[in-house]
Amino acid sequence: MAPLWLKSLPWSTIVSNAPLIVDGAKKLASLVKSKSTAEAMPPAGDAVIGDAQSEIAALRARVRQLEQEQKQAAEALREVAESHGQMAQALESLRKRTRLNLCVAWICLVGVATLLLWITFTR
């Protein structure tokens, strides 16, 4: 049995907005890939000495590490959005199949009822 919160989700809204979510994730991933903070930082100058230079180098390394983590997070978000889009397409396909099966079941039910009535009244 599905959890109660799962039943209360607006699935039609989620499915209809899936392409927008995928596009947004792709834009975010491309934005993160194209942006580099390390390029914007000024190079270490000769006026900075000793501990200040090592501190700046440590900060640059930390910024590079954070950029890498941000790129990985954006990539993971893009992958999740793409899988969500694929799941939404599969859900839509299953919904169409269910409607078709329901129609076939109704036709079969009407056919069986008609057959039973025909058998009953022809005797």
Rounded distance between C-alpha atoms, residue 41 and residue 57, angstroms: 11
Q: Confirm whether 105 is domain-assigned.
A: no
Please give the pLDDT value at position 118: 93
Residues 44 and 56 sit within 8 Å (Cβ to Cβ): yes
CA distances from 98 to 67, 86, 102, 105 (A): 46, 18, 6, 10
Q: Confirm whether 44 is domain-assigned.
A: no
Encode the chain (123 residues) as per-residue pLDDT tens digits.
456 666 676 767 777 777 777 777 777 777 766 665 445 555 555 444 677 888 888 899 999 999 999 988 888 888 888 888 888 888 889 999 999 999 999 999 999 999 999 999 987
Please give the pLDDT value at position 21: 75
| Number of domains comprising the chain | 1
Please give the pLDDT value at position 114: 96
Q: Confirm whether 68 is domain-assigned.
A: yes
C-alpha angle 26-92-102 in degrees, rounded to nearest 5: 175
Range of the domain at 71: 18-35+50-96
Q: Confirm whether 89 is domain-assigned.
A: yes
Q: What is the dihedral of CA 80, 82, 87, 93, to 10 degrees?
A: 170
Q: Confirm whether 118 is domain-assigned.
A: no
Please give the pLDDT value at position 67: 92
